[in-house]
Structure 1
Amino acid sequence: MGRIVVDVMPKPEILDPQGKAVAGALPRLGLSGFVSVRQGKRFELEVDGEVDDAALQQARQAAETLLSNPVIENVVRVAALDDSGSL
């Protein structure tokens, strides 16, 4: 079984209230040096067999038509995961 990861982020011009809340909480937790935070979505798709170009193409199509809202989000990555879960 192969796995594909899809990362989706809000477009830069879209407000991100969840990211702003996290950015505000970081200094209160003693974690400084972060200028801003944007929160996105990550999907892991498991495929039957190996991840090949056709599976990646189908994952990209799913990302662009179902997993993201193209009006307010960008698909930033569609990539195969290795057995250890690394890209």
Structure 2
Amino acid sequence: MMYYKSVSIGCSYNLCPATVTTPAINAIACLYTPAFQRNERIYPENHYGCIDHDDCWKYGMASSRCIREGPYYGLCQGTYIISAL
């Protein structure tokens, strides 16, 4: 889950091999900018996502678009990926 003011995200994963005492596991970590602030709500109360593109732009996502239909309704969609593996 992402903080509603976050405009950038970066994730990484690593397969940690099995040892004598532990099974193999996948480790996943993500960083967000700006990060969630303690004692602040993850999403505004009584808010159901974006309604139009301006809602996405006001948090610094000038090139994003508000998804207005389908299962991702109310989410802002960025227009570029910095890097992908």
Which range, TM-score by smaller chain?
A: under 0.3
Q: Over alpha carbons, which structure has the higher Rg?
A: 2
What is the TM-score when the length of structure 1 is the normalising length? Answer: 0.27
**Greater RCO, 1 or 2 (C-alpha within 8 Å, sep 6+):** 1
What is the TM-score when the length of structure 2 is the normalising length? Answer: 0.27
